[in-house]
Chains A and B, each alone.
Chain A
Amino acid sequence: MSARLPVAVGTASPPSQSAESVAVAPMVGRAYRTRSRAAKIALVPTIAIMLGFYYASISWTVYISMTRSFLLPIYKFAGAAQYERLFATPRWHVAYSNMFLFGVLDIIGTLGLGVLLAVLLDRAVRFEGLFRTIMLYPLSISFIVTGLTWQWVLSPTIGVQHFVRDLGWDGFVFDWITQPDRAIYTLAFAGVWHQSGLIMAIMLAGLRGVDREIWRAARIEGIPTWRTYISIVLPMLRPLIVTCLVLIAIAVVRSYDLVVAMTNGGPGFSSDLPGKFVVDFEFERANIGQASAAATVMLGSMLAVISPYLYFELARKNR
């Protein structure tokens, strides 16, 4: 059984794979077993780190969220008390719903712009190298610098509004970053600006990998270029799009530095996000119970969004 392990990784191997593993079995011998032992030993530190720091920390956090811990951990089980309190906190409501608003805008914006740029570059090959560098450049800047830069650019007193007024349009108003109901959109805008270059690079690599004969076949059939992209080429790149989606979604959930640098959650709490909420409660207010509960809700939401999607993708692949 142990000899078959390398093929049967993932344990619940589908029928098609188990046939392969039988076919592989004859070449397995003693040498193979020694080698597989060495491989397992080499994996031990990684697995230990994963278990010790990652999953143990997650479990600890989840448990603490079900106690009455405040400044210091208390290990007496207290059920959903922290969650009741969390969902009675207005700031959490703002942060939590902001995550979805920010997430939807950021995903649609980044993916849409990234794919569009990739398609444009795929069409106009001439300045590809130059454009790719320009578009990828924002990614080399940290979220902190991105946030600060956009804070300055969007600030009514020193940024775009000020500049346009100096040109003579005295009535010009562009102060979204200072408006409680608009600030979150400026965050999404900066997020899109920062990440769409990466999505473009990934998608461009995918577009370049498409068999040229597919394009020729479509051209001979008289299928317009835009239709070829939408109905044939982009569906072929579905796995890449899913990868991009996951990358952006992860960036959305963990986004903390961008908010801190750009709006610091303000005005008021209007552009707060769960990441910032957790850090604030954990370290500034020293309320580890609330912070843990918020973190657990983030984890749960993430799993709820991602798992059906992953499930469908894996099911498609196994079919």
Chain B
Amino acid sequence: MSAVSVFGLSKSFGHLRVLKDIHLPIETGDFTVLLGPSGCGKSTLLNAIAGLEDTDAGIVEIDGADVTHREPSKRGIAMVFQSYALYPTMSVRKNLSFGLRVRSVPRQEVARRVHWAAKLLQIDELLDRKPSQLSGGQRQRVAIGRALVQQAKVFLFDEPLSNLDAKLRTEMRVELKRLHKDLGATIVYVTHDQIEAMTLATRIAVMRAGRIEQYATPDDLYEEPATLFVAAFVGSPAMNFMPGRLISSTVHIGSARLPLNGYRFRSSPMNGQEVVLGIRPEHVQLAPEGQLEAETLFMEPMGADTLGWFQFGEHRLSARLVPQVARGLSGTVRLSLLADHVSLFDPSTEARL
């Protein structure tokens, strides 16, 4: 059974349609990330699931029950906010327990849950402090703790790590992953950071302009992006794109020929069809017998590997290189594109071929 199901959800602000007929089934125990650039509607979708935002059409089900018209507190959810939204005048302990006490959960039960959450998040020594006396990372833990003590069926996270610095963000990412593994909780998580999405998610829904472009596992998303937008948005450094023409299972790009062996076409393309070929930098390699002849432009060292930039005709191509090899590189080189890893898109529909 799905933990959360969204059917045909639509929402407009005046003339602006922020959500367009969204369908999203989320399985119990999934870590689902809603990923997209700002303004794509991901936060609105999360708020609609939470019940903080009214919708124009569609149904939201949580744990099998239709909750479309229920108050947020009656939906069996807990939420962590970007600004943490801790109650500043209350101690950490009070922050965790206040909501439960208001809903008349017995005092002993409250104490038990607070103790459990504090232990799990390693904030038991901070329980008597005020939020203003905590660091960003500690505040984030308290905010997560406040969600955990609710013992909700679904946990919603609205860009929870975007206020943290880079190092802390990496730490908290690992922490979140551990929590998900230990608790087996169902999580819906909003972010615009594709690395966060790739590392945390069991499934990612990439959104753009109020629609879900692709809903798949991180691996599928990375290896077989369904649209040009997903291909360009996911992955860092970004995928290379070159326009070409498909003639009898071979892609012609300028003078170069790239035979496609075993490319799994989703539809049967026409002979001579225009295509956009996408290939990730790690699938572009230096090879003496490579299909392309290109000029070396410059190198971007990234530590573990170096991103090399090459000019091929009018296109600029990046390749992930071994630093030692990249260091001595200059002039004209030959590049090989690994045909098993290319993606082809229809330039008019932007969909994967």
Residues of A with Cβ closer than 8 Å to B? Answer: 211, 213-214, 216-224, 227, 231-232, 235-236, 238
Contact = CB atoms under 8 A, between A and B. Distances in A.
Contacts of B74: 222
Contacts of B77: 220
A222 B89 contact: no
A227 B102 contact: yes
Task: Please name the 6 residue pairs, one residue from A and one from B, whose CB atoms are nearest each other, closest first.
Answer: A222-B73, A221-B99, A213-B85, A235-B89, A217-B85, A213-B81
Contacts of A238: 89
Given A222-B74, A236-B88, 14 more contacts: A213-B82, A216-B79, A217-B85, A217-B87, A218-B87, A218-B99, A219-B72, A219-B73, A220-B50, A221-B73, A221-B103, A222-B71, A222-B103, A236-B87
Given A211-B85, A222-B73, A235-B89, A217 B79 contact: yes
A250 B136 CA distance: 40
Given A221-B73, A221-B99, A222-B73, A232 B87 contact: yes
A221 B95 CA distance: 11
A223 B98 contact: yes
B99 A222 contact: yes
Contact of A216 (B52, B71, B87, B88): B52
**Main secondary structure on chain A at its contact with chain B?**
helix
Given A213-B82, A216-B52, A216-B81, A221 B89 contact: no
- Chain B contact-residue range equals 20 to 34
Given A221-B150, A222-B73, A216 B102 contact: no
Interface in B56-89: 71-74, 77-79, 81-85, 87-89
Contacts of A218: 87, 99
A288 B102 CA distance: 60
A57 to B, nearest CB: 41
B87 A219 contact: no
Nearest to A215: B85
Contact of B52 (A220, A222, A236): A220
Contacts of A221: 73, 98-99, 102-103, 146, 150
Nearest to B94: A231
A220 B88 CA distance: 17
The residue among A211, A221, A222, A232 with the most chain B CB atoms within 10 A of its own CB is A221
A141 to B, nearest CB: 36
A222 B70 CA distance: 12
A224 B73 CA distance: 10
B72 A220 contact: yes
Interface string B76-118: 0111011111011110000000110011000000000000000
A222 B101 CA distance: 11
Contacts of B150: 221
A213 B99 contact: no
B82 A214 contact: no
